[in-house]
């Protein structure tokens, strides 16, 4: 513990000097400072205390107030803040080739889900969204509020009213317009890459603009991969889990920009000035309030109120009692009561671990995952970290989110290898294969209609003609989509002026 304003402590010379003066001369030190009239006002009530004791009490009050003004604190972990965040434009390819159904349910639908996942996990990035085909359209400019972007993506219909061919230059030029004035600039393409054509012009343009290009590919493309690599970006092919998005976010955050960034070390403190201040207020009550039988209960009540108000909320006055009661409730398998007590306490990482386990026992798996993620702390043992990731994976299994469970088991094994996590990972991989196979079969049945049955054949015959399915849409949503489809482009999009064209811009799929 130390003082934020140590120079204020020099004021302690005054009460200390008065105390020594009175002790040495056996006189009341305040008599030499205050007149008799002022002393009568100061000592309005005798309160059963002698004048000598009241003088000492008055000096103690001044001392406590000076200590409170000096701000006693305890330093907590510091925060490292960089002045320039990375700014990125998510460019979504909406050309005709992105409607292919070789990826379920389609390349574009999967791209939209990946964009949503990227935004949800990119709290430290400035993000804007752009759509492009032959032309570029701004969905939303660079923003620090991801909720707005998520809302637009949910309400947007990205599949209509765009020309079929794809022009990469429109995405690059449009992104440059959105990134104007920002440092540490990135573009992330959600695309199948277009044709295998020369991309030298695009490379020159990106280097001139000092922009890093990354790509999440929905179809292999060698020339696009070379372009991304030469700009020192990250090229990833899509996965059914979240590893592709996590890798892209990590690469973008770790990329060293040529622009200057300033790092600030923000100190965090836990304040203790409330303690001397509360004691000073209590002594003032003793100083002025006569201690009779009638006022004793009032004084005790005020003492409790002052101690409660002056104690920080996070100080955890009753934490020990809450944690003890939570442990008793957990032992009796009363998990809801245990959760209630844990949530009232100021929890350490181990406390969050116990809370997460209580949530798991109560079958509140999503809350358990959130609590497990708070159970990590710096420089912890790898075995403990592996155990937490294993428990998170188990929660995902209970929620039947096998793809997330698979990723968590892989993370757990990367810290510490256990037989149980290894076997569970194998089961998740097998389950995902079966799930994917069954989903593909259901999708194929929706695309074709049986037109006849051969008595000699064990299975019905299918035609080669795809059946157009009309989805059932609620009336309000139907009106919304009809209103959008009447426009050449959705009304919430702003068309950006671009000039250059890529070699494959005139190719229609």
Q: Which residue has the higher pLDDT, 283 or 7?
A: 7
The whole-number pLDDT of residue 137 equals: 86
Spatial separation of the C-alpha atoms in residues 438 and 432, rounded to whole Å: 10
Q: Give the rounded percent of residues in the chain with a pLDDT score beyond 70.
A: 67
Q: In this model, does residue 416 exceed pLDDT 70?
A: yes
The Cα-based distances of 234 to 187, 189, 229 in angstroms read 10, 10, 7
DSSP tag of 395? H
Q: Rounded to the nearest 5°, which phi and psi values hold at 215?
A: -150, 140
Inter-residue contact 209 to 184 (CB < 8 Å): no
Query: With contact defined as beta carbons under 8 Å apart, do 194 and 494 qualify?
Result: no
441-474: pLDDT as tens digits: 666 655 544 444 444 444 444 444 444 444 444 4
- State the burial class of residue 220 (Cβ atoms within 10 Å of its Cβ: 0-12, 13-18, 19+): exposed
Give residue 40's pLDDT: 57
Enter the tokens of residue 440: 């593909």
**What are the b/e assignments for 99-126, b being 16+ CB within 10 Å?**
eeeebeebbbbbbbebbbebbeebeebb
Grade residue 84 by pLDDT with cuts at 50, 70 and 90: low
Residue 60's pLDDT is 84
Cα first-last separation, the chain: 69
Answer yes or no: are the C-beta atoms of 420 and 390 closer than 8 Å. yes
Q: Is 236 helix (H, G, I), strand (E, B) or coil?
A: strand
Cis peptide leading into 105, omega within 30 of 0?
yes
Residue 332: Cβ-neighbour burial (10 angstroms; 0-12, 13-18, 19+):
exposed
Q: What is the pLDDT of residue 172?
A: 92
Q: Across-strand partners of 93? A: 132
- Sign of torsion over alpha carbons 172, 177, 183, 189: negative
Other beta carbons within 10 Å of 275? 16
Measure Cα distances from 476 to 429, 479, 481, 485 in Å: 41, 5, 9, 15
Task: List the single range of 52-56, 349-353, 410-414, 487-491 with lowest mean pLDDT.
Answer: 487-491
Residue 499 makes CB contacts below 8 A (sequence gap 6+) with: 173
pLDDT class for 489, splitting at 50, 70, 90?
very low
Rounded Cα gap, residues 8 and 338, in angstroms: 46
Which residue do the tokens 């702390």 mark? 377
Strand 72-75 versus strand 269-271 pairing type: antiparallel
pTM attached to this predicted model: 0.42
3 state SS of 235:
strand
CA distance 50 to 426: 82
pLDDT digits (tens, 9 = 90+) for 211-259: 999 999 988 889 899 999 999 899 999 988 888 998 998 888 877 554 4
Q: Which residues contact 382 (CB under 8 A, 6 or more apart)?
A: 415, 416
pLDDT of residue 212: 92
Residue-wise pLDDT for 149-205, tens only, equals 776 676 555 655 677 788 888 899 999 998 887 878 899 999 988 888 888 899 999
Q: What are the pLDDT digits (tens) for 389-405?
A: 999 999 999 888 888 88
DSSP 218: S
At residue 23 the predicted structure's pLDDT band, cuts being 50, 70 and 90, is low
Angle of helix 335-344 relative to helix 349-361, nearest 10 degrees, comes to 150
CA atoms lying within 13 Å on the CB side of residue 413: 15
Is the dihedral angle over the CA atoms 345, 351, 357, 363 positive or is it negative? positive
- At which residue do the structure tokens 């054949």 appear? 457
Sequence-ordered list of residues with C-beta below 8 angstroms from that of 54, at least 6 positions apart, any chain: 43, 47, 287
Residue 188: what pLDDT?
93
């Amino acid at each position: 513990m130390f003082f934020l304003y140590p120079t204020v402590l020099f004021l302690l010379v005054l009460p200390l000097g008065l105390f020594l003066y009175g002790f040495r001369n056996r006189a009341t030190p305040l008599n030499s400072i205050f007149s008799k009239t002022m002393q009568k006002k100061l000592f309005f009530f005798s309160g059963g205390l002698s004048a000598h004791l009241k003088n000492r009490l008055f000096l103690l009050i001044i001392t406590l107030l000076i200590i409170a003004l000096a701000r006693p604190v305890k330093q907590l972990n510091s925060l490292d803040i960089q002045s320039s965040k990375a700014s990125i434009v998510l460019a979504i390819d909406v050309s005709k080739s992105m409607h292919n159904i070789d990826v379920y349910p389609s390349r574009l639908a999967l791209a939209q889900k990946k964009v949503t996942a990227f935004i949800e996990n990119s709290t430290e990035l400035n993000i804007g969204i752009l759509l492009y085909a032959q032309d570029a359209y701004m969905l939303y400019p660079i923003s620090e509020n991801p909720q707005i972007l998520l809302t637009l993506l949910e309400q947007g219909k990205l599949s209509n009213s765009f020309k079929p061919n794809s022009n990469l230059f429109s995405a690059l030029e449009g992104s440059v317009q959105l990134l104007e004035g920002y440092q540490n600039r990135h573009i992330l393409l959600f695309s199948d890459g277009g044709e295998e054509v020369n991309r030298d012009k695009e490379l020159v343009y990106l280097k001139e603009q000092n922009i890093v290009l990354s790509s999440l590919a929905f179809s292999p493309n060698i020339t696009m991969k070379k372009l991304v690599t030469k700009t020192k970006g990250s090229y990833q092919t899509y996965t059914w889990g979240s590893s592709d998005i996590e890798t892209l976010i990590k690469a973008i955050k770790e990329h060293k920009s040529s622009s200057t960034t300033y790092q600030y070390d923000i100190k965090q403190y836990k304040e203790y000035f409330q303690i001397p201040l509360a004691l000073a207020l209590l002594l003032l009550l003793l100083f002025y309030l006569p201690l009779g039988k009638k006022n004793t209960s009032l004084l005790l009540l005020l003492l409790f109120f002052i101690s409660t108000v002056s104690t920080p909320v996070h100080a955890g006055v009753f934490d020990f009692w809450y944690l003890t009661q939570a442990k008793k409730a957990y032992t009796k398998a009363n998990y809801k009561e245990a959760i209630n007590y844990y949530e009232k306490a100021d929890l350490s990482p181990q406390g969050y671990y116990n809370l997460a386990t209580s949530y798991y026992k109560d079958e509140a798996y999503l809350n358990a995952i959130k609590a497990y993620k708070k159970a990590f702390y710096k420089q912890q043992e790898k075995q403990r970290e592996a155990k937490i990731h294993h428990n998170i994976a188990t929660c995902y299994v209970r929620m039947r989110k096998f793809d997330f469970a698979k990723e968590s088991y892989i993370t757990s094994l990367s810290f510490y290898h256990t037989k149980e996590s290894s076997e569970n990972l194998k089961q998740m991989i097998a389950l995902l294969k079966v799930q994917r196979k069954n989903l593909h079969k259901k999708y194929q049945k929706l695309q074709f209609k049986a037109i006849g049955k051969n008595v000699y054949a064990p299975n019905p015959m299918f035609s080669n003609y795809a059946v157009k399915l009309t989805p059932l849409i609620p009336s309000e949503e139907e009106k919304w989509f009809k209103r959008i489809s009447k426009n050449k482009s959705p009304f919430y999009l702003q068309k950006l002026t671009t000039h250059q064209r890529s070699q494959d811009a005139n190719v229609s799929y």
